[in-house]
Structure 1
């Protein structure tokens, strides 16, 4: 059996003098701060590779180029960062000896240049007709959608995707078509949101700090996880632009915003509560004068009738009997969260009523609101189709309006 020998640094030096390169892998480990520095440097390298030059300062430069320029200055001024990044610097960026890349298009003929621009030289599409050339913005958006990497921690997200797919099949969630008529700037993307783009389910895992895009609009870098095990760090505006161009793009509703309410229960329903709407029989002057408009809205996991059995002795119910005028059954919903959503939606029509309890102590009653019953029905419908966050209640006109 041949003896195995571990190469030392002296052996490496000797082999190097003989012209023999020895390759070996080092499994370096970095802490989170070092990983961020490396990732930031890789973005600078990509900019240099794409543009053939270093990022520059100046108000006429795009925001990301200016950020890269500042970041490179900070790295060069930190011996710790320079030592960490030395092995990654294959372009001479740290020592400021980078040589700009010459524009290779100078030697291209017309056909080759048009090919790089994405133009096919045919009889119908000649050199004088460039209507099919994609703009830089369109190409950049398409590249960012396609430029994905393997999601190393996908096992953390896979159960979430499986749950979402199951929720959609059981109709606990629904998909909503992307509304182009709402306007580009009105489109809201939030952390923790699921959506469908280019036929894949995507999850917004993180939204970075707000920055200003070249056109002055707010923008941010996202971490988007896809159900095929990949991820991207696309810009917010680029993602919305891509959704605009994809006629099949859709939003996926939250579990408490999907088609969860029905007048009838099926065997498959896992009932977990009921939204109830009550009308008070109190003699309080304010309540009595607005009897048809004063409603209490709540969510309970038990029987509504049992919930109101002792109403006339409970300040919550204005120390008076009540009548149930509407109920909406729900399944697989967090009742506490749903009730907060409803109360927040009608917060601008909350009724401030002070009454005396059984001991003559003044108390303020909560969960009573001033609006007609049909408005509550409309609000529940908006929860069903997942668009409730797009609307608000206007007490002055007694109607739901879109933000």
Structure 2
């Protein structure tokens, strides 16, 4: 018999009509969202919201809203199916609703005034909520960063990347994008997330984590991820600083529609300076030009950037559809640790410090170019001790 009933059920299932989802207006959705906030309060506190000056201002606010909802029969049809706690039946109806009609538009507008960006009605227009106060206190509560020396070069490099266009700034998005190793701008200061602790769940159900944030003025703060995000959301001038990028990738091969952008050139000096003669095979000038390399080096012996000497072209890489300035800055940043520190006199006797010469083997330059090409250059820099990219 049981098998027959199962077979019948299967047959009938073929003729079931799928229930269409209920289409609600944005106004109704906001009313329901506001009621669900009250329900969450009841679940957390164990009792309906109450009136009275001795209670928290947000509890009293919820009590007023609940009374308004309960005072109008037309809302029962909208909220009744989700009122599993029977809050509407036990609510205290405000006296001002007996003779005055409050429509759905007015109530939704009232609730909207109290919504924050997460559609949560726990924030008054002129009252700072406890969460915001805690966030401000955490941001303001900073200690001296004892090991700031190891972070100072990072801030310097980040600013250099911004100046060169290798990094950009954008408005903050969500707390999920806050990661270790990222830079942010808060209250006019650069902030570096040095460490992210183990994630944990807050009492209200959201995930959070404890951060170690170092600021460019030599202070640090041990604050929550959501506190940092909340502070950035309140600060209209706050920004997220992007990771360094070389811009569009380039290739050795052209395809139809490509526009030539320039050439990376690697040069070797013929100077008789002792430091050059001793490192002739290791010392290279790395540059980018939009014209002919031969024209660029034609007057090398008169140009202090070429060490006031003739040069020979070691190798070149042709570029397509790429920002030459950004690429040159990126290459120089990669090999910064191997930059030649030298000062020479120009033909007028003025001291000049050339900035494009690096004590780096050719194979390392080849690898850097290849990494830029395949997109794996992020976070890579040349290590002089091992003569390799790391």
- TM-score after normalising by structure 2: 0.43
- TM-score after normalising by structure 1: 0.42
Of the two, which has the highest radius of gyration? 2
